[in-house]
Amino acid sequence: MKATWDIFCSVVDNYGDIGVTWRLARQLVAEHGLAVRLWVDDLNAFTPMCPGADATATQQWQQGVEVRQWPAAWLPVEPADVVIGAFACQLPSPYVEAMRACATPPLWLNLEYLSAEDWVEGCHGLPSPQPNGLRKVFFFPGFTEKTGGLLREGSLLARRDVFLQGARRAFLQGLGVNPKAGALLVSLFAYENPQLGNWLDALATSEQPCHLVVPQGRVVAGLSQWLGEPTLPVGSLRKRGALTVQVLPFVSQDDYDRLLWSCDFNAVRGEDSFVRAQWAGQPMLWHIYIQDENAHWEKLEAFLGHYRRGLSEAADAALLGLWRAWNMDLDMGQAWRAARQHWPELQQHARLWAGQQAAQPDLATALVHFCRNSL
d(CA 262, CA 172): 8
- pLDDT tier at 1 (50, 70, 90 boundaries)? low
Catalytic residue among 17, 153, 345, 362: 17
Catalytic residue among 112, 255, 271, 362: 271
Distance of CA 303 to the CA centre of its chain: 15
d(CA 268, CA 266): 6
Is 329 a residue of the active site? no
- pLDDT tier at 294 (50, 70, 90 boundaries)? confident
Residue 209, classed as helix, strand or coil, is coil
Name which residue leads in pLDDT, 26 or 2.
26
CA-based torsion, 300, 305, 185, 325: positive or negative:
positive
Eight-state DSSP code of residue 322: H
Residue 219, classed as helix, strand or coil, is coil
Is 298 a residue of the active site? no
Statement: residue 180 has pLDDT above 90: yes
Q: How does pLDDT run across 330-349, given as a tens digit for each residue?
A: 999 999 999 999 999 999 99
